[in-house]
Structure 1
Amino acid sequence: MGYGKTAQGLQLSKADDRCDVPASLHQAIEDQLEAPYEFAVPSTTPAVEGAPTLRLEITDLLANAGGMYGGPKIVQLHGTLERPGKPVAQFTAQREMFIYFGLPRSTCSMVGQVTYALGTDIAKWLSRPIDGARLGDRP
């Protein structure tokens, strides 16, 4: 999982992400995977050669400090699933949160809720991958 460019061409990096979206998203997806995608590995190794590969790229991230008082928290993704013998399937995804009534109300706890919802969307998509799908609460 890596950081990509926004629609405006701005290259995102770890410096733009105080909440470590890749780690929380990886965990959220792995928590919800079912066969045949029961295990997620950070990179391909000889032991998993030929296994389906899901590549995720963060294409936008808004996580201003201030928790619920810092404005909306938004995460956008682009995903590509490569499977041996099958065509590549891609999706775009977006989730956002404006108000959060849980505790704690920090920016990162809100981003964690957003990434968990994205993990649910992605795990569901993996059970029936449709090329060009739009996941999440994106209009």
Structure 2
Amino acid sequence: MRAAVAALLCCATPVMAAEIHVQDPVPFNESAIIAENIKAECRMGAQLATALGKNAPAHGNTLVFSSDPVNTGSGHALKLELVEAQSAGNAFTGHFKSAAVRGVLFENGQQVATVTARRVSRGGAFAGFKGSCDVLERTVNAIGNDLAIWLAKPVDGARLGDL
């Protein structure tokens, strides 16, 4: 009997993952104080969307990206904004970079959960050979993974990463 149940479970079709709509690139929050050179030179919003899209399927979700702001009124939508990006130091003196994102998950117009994620990086291996944008993109790659894990079991008011 156990063998029959195990065979059925291993061959069963998985439940269809939720389709969650997300804006790509993730925008900067209008009131965030972020240096203009970071906004102009670094691809943080696009990198965050890419990292989230890469990691979400492993946690049971399918993301649908649009360049337009997400419609929070129907279906599942994750509204994300970059709220912080700091770029201190450099390849010679040592990097100290950080980024933070806030998000709200909606289902059919109703707010389901909020999340804040922040990551700090000193550049990792071979940091002396990396530019500032490369190190900032490391932070949003980590945030993308954090958010993908959170989306599998969203908890309201979650604080992820280095918070």
Which range, TM-score by smaller chain?
0.7 to 0.9
Taking the aligned partners of 1:24 and 1:76, their CA distance within structure 2 comes to 13
SS at match of 1:24: helix
- Which whole-Å CA distance do the structure 2 matches of 1:44 and 1:61 have between them? 21
Deviation, structure 1 residue 63: 2.4
Unaligned ranges ≥5, structure 1: none
Q: Give the letter aligned to residue 16 of structure 1.
A: I
Q: Percent identity?
A: 24
Counterpart position of 1:62: 86
| Amino acid paired to 2:38 | D
Q: Distance in 2 between matches of 1:16 and 1:113?
A: 14
The equivalent of 2:44 in structure 1 is 21
How far residue 33 of structure 1 moved from its aligned partner, in angstroms, is 1.1
Q: CA deviation at 1:69?
A: 3.2
Q: Is the 8 A contact 2:88 2:95 kept in 1?
A: yes
TM-score, structure 1 normalization: 0.78
What is the aligned length? 132
Aligned partner of 1:50 among 63, 74, 83: 74
- TM-score of the superposition, structure 2-length normalised? 0.68
User: Aligned residue for 2:27?
Assistant: 2
CA-atom RMSD in angstroms: 2.7
Unaligned stretches of 5+ residues in structure 2: 1-25
1:1-139 matched pairs, under 5 angstroms: 1-4=26-29, 5-6=31-32, 10=33, 12=34, 15-17=37-39, 18-34=41-57, 37-42=61-66, 43=68, 50-64=74-88, 66-67=90-91, 69=93, 71-84=95-108, 87-102=111-126, 104-138=129-163
| Structure with the greater alpha carbon radius of gyration | 2
Partner SS state of residue 82, structure 2: strand
